[in-house]
Amino acid sequence: MIIILNFNYKIYNMKYLITSILLMICLIGKSQSSLLVNDKLNIDSLYSNKDELIIHSGVLEFEGLTKEQLKTKVKNWGGTKFVNLKEVLVSETEDQIVLNYIDNSMYMKTMGMKMDYSWYIRLVVEFKDGKIRCQYFDDGNTYQPSDKGVSIRSRSYHLKDYFKENDGIKTSQKMFTMGMISLKENILKNFSSIKEFIDKKDGDKKEW
């Protein structure tokens, strides 16, 4: 009886171990970004247009809305997204607005240490009846003070400066890879939030 119980106990432990390993494999697989190719980030995966430093460009369509209505809705979105819309709204015409904001999702990681990098993003939104186009530009690093006396001026670097070319292909330096992916994914969330906000009907708003 003791031998049988011990044998069953070993089988249970083995099943538990196998289940744990499979779960870890699944989690690791899910954590890998679709932007990576052979665990490397190519410059064309980060930028949709590397020459113009466009990280993401997309068109959103809204049937039945004029460009004036869309412009008002995007500005309302900006008013809820940012602390002070007036501080990030740097240009406005009849057909376009330009927002310049700071994204805090970029970081560098090396030797187990993580250093956050705040990054300027320039968002250009163009309006036509029934649709808008959003372009997110890499506008460079923010000012980085240093206690060693060597500070980095704002907009001294762009994300492309953290890529190296090997065999004709530019891939990001490993210490910046996950931080760049985090930044890109945050921009895609920002883009999606515009559509969600405009699609929301007035009746969907909560009563207060």
Per-residue pLDDT of 33-92, as tens digits, reads 688 888 899 999 999 999 999 999 999 999 999 999 999 999 999 999 998 899 999 999
Beta pairing partners, 97: 92, 125
The reported pLDDT for the residue numbered 83 is 84
Low-confidence residues in the chain, pLDDT < 50: 2-5, 7, 9-10, 12, 16, 19-31
Find where tokens 């049937």 sit: 63
The reported pLDDT for the residue numbered 151 is 86
Percentages of the chain per state (helix, strand, coil), in multiples of 5 = 40, 35, 25
The reported pLDDT for the residue numbered 112 is 86
Residue 141 class from Cβ within 10 Å (0-12 exposed, 13-18 middle, 19+ buried)? buried
The reported pLDDT for the residue numbered 206 is 63
Identify the CA nearest to 122 among candidates 187, 194, 203, 34: 187
User: What are the structural domain ranges in the chain?
Assistant: 36-201
The reported pLDDT for the residue numbered 14 is 57
In 45-112 the beta strands, taken as DSSP E runs, fall at 54-61, 89-92, 96-110
pTM to 2 decimals? 0.81
What is residue 169's three-state secondary structure?
A: strand
Contact 78, 102 (CB under 8 A): no
For the domain covering 36-201, report its CATH number: 3.30.530.80
The reported pLDDT for the residue numbered 143 is 93
Contact 141, 152 (CB under 8 A): yes
